[in-house]
Structure 1
Amino acid sequence: MKKISTNVSRTIQTKLVLPPDTNHLDTIFGGKVLAYIDEIAAIAAMKHSRKVVVTASIDEVNFLSAAKVGDILTLEGVVISTGNTSMEVYVKVECEQLETGVKSLTTTSFLTMVAIDSDGKPVPVPGIIPETDHEEELYQQAKERRKRWLHVNKGMK
């Protein structure tokens, strides 16, 4: 199957942190951030594969800093590597403080999405052509992440 640019899958969403999204410290619930991450990863994977996708795993999530009520979140998702039917999606979340304009990285994550057909069976997906130095680095590291994932999950079966 042919390879396509990461730019095909690149997806950006902006969200406003509202009071119902937060805990008693006025910072956004981690579960809310995870829901946003899962959604943008699915959209990026669907754009890449042009198929319906399912989340196979949330492989890594790093909460680096908190976002508060009134902050603006920008999520960016991109398919960073592929298997036969699976896609590894990298998602980063940045926070912008409205009054100061100061931006900070709040979360990074890797998810594995699988493309499926109308019967729910996995289907092949195109390969990847990284477009930036950071994407190339993540692409090169993908085999090591996959090896680590397989090692960790081998004992779970």
Structure 2
Amino acid sequence: MDPVKRNLAAMGLPERFMDACLERFDVWRAGSRVSVFGAEGAPSDVVGVKLAKLVTPSPTWTLVTACHRQAAWNVHNWALSHFVPVQYVGSPAGRASRALATQLIAASDQVVVFERRREKRFDHVLQAAKQARKRVSLELYDVAGGSASQLSLA
């Protein structure tokens, strides 16, 4: 942290303020990294409930997300509005692919998957996350009602 502090010193900020900011940054940096799949198609209330459950026990976490046009922008914008750090993977011109999903999983400590009941759209994500020994949470939801059930895999 000393090199960061030396570079920030040129801004002329009070040292106590810089120390507090760097301390907070260090806490956020140590938090878990979470990637989310399928949130763009899931009902907002299901996504909101899951994110609330995620934030409550772990207030310091980072959202790992793709930065292409098919990313879950609702989750991305929610994270930014709540001052949750965001780590981007891939490029804006990229497309959703298994390779990108693997990169997202590799950059994450926890993977949250939202999937419609009786669909297997994100099976490759679940398999890759389990193979990489990441913590996985599968949120199943119904199309019409939006009701969900949770299945966590360790």
Give the TM-score band, short-chain normalised. under 0.3
Higher relative contact order (CA 8 A, sep 6+): 1
Larger radius of gyration: 2
Give the TM-score of the pair, scaled to structure 2. Answer: 0.27
Greater fraction helix: 2
TM-score normalized by the length of structure 1: 0.26
